Amino acid sequence: MPVDFSGTWNLVSNDNFEGYMVALGIDFATRKIAKMLKPQKVIKQDGDSFYIHTTSTFRDYLLEFKVGEEFEEDNKGLDNRKCKSLVTWENDKLVCVQTGEKKNRGWTHWLEGDDLHLELRCENQVCKQVFKRA
């Protein structure tokens, strides 16, 4: 059975989100708000087609892609930098490389027990998030 990330997921931990936001150049006032948030992810997966909607009381971000097909990402409402993104499978992990102005930018999703894990990377910073099913 291939892995299926579909579902509604609530953030339960968020390690070094501050460092990740600093690396992205997010200003102090926005960081202060952002780190209080408990975002929710709604993921719809149909084979290699993904819809990932990250929502919060402050801002939301929608990403739709197919694994193996590079796309333009605008990061609207986040750092607003455009990049070229490519998501691939590495075994059961979903790995995104975001090529652009920021070095070493990307993220990895995987399932561990009943939890959804997300590692967010930018430059020398790694943020580790864990989500539980709503």
In the complex, minimum distance from the CB of residue 27 to ligand YOG, in angstroms, rounded to a whole number: 9
In the complex, minimum distance from the CB of residue 112 to ligand YOG, in angstroms, rounded to a whole number: 15
In the chain the beta strands, taken as DSSP E runs, fall at 7-15, 40-46, 49-55, 61-66, 71-73, 83-90, 93-99, 106-112, 115-122, 125-133
Q: What is the distance between the alpha carbons of residues 86 and 21, in angstroms, rounded to a whole number?
A: 21
Q: Of the ranges 2-10, 21-29, 85-93, which one interacts with ligand YOG (CB under 6 A)?
A: 21-29
For strands 106-112 and 93-99, give the pairing. Answer: antiparallel
Contacts to ligand YOG from residues 55-84, by CB under 6 A: 56, 58-61, 63, 78-79
In the complex, minimum distance from the CB of residue 113 to ligand YOG, in angstroms, rounded to a whole number: 18
Does residue 118 bind ligand YOG (CB under 6 A)?
Answer: yes
Does residue 108 bind ligand YOG (CB under 6 A)?
Answer: no
Collect contacts of 75-83 with beta carbons under 8 A, ≥24 apart. 78/24, 79/24, 79/25, 79/26, 81/24
| Interface residue list for ligand YOG (CB under 6 A) | 21, 24, 26, 30, 34, 37, 39, 41, 52, 54, 56, 58-61, 63, 78-79, 107, 118, 120
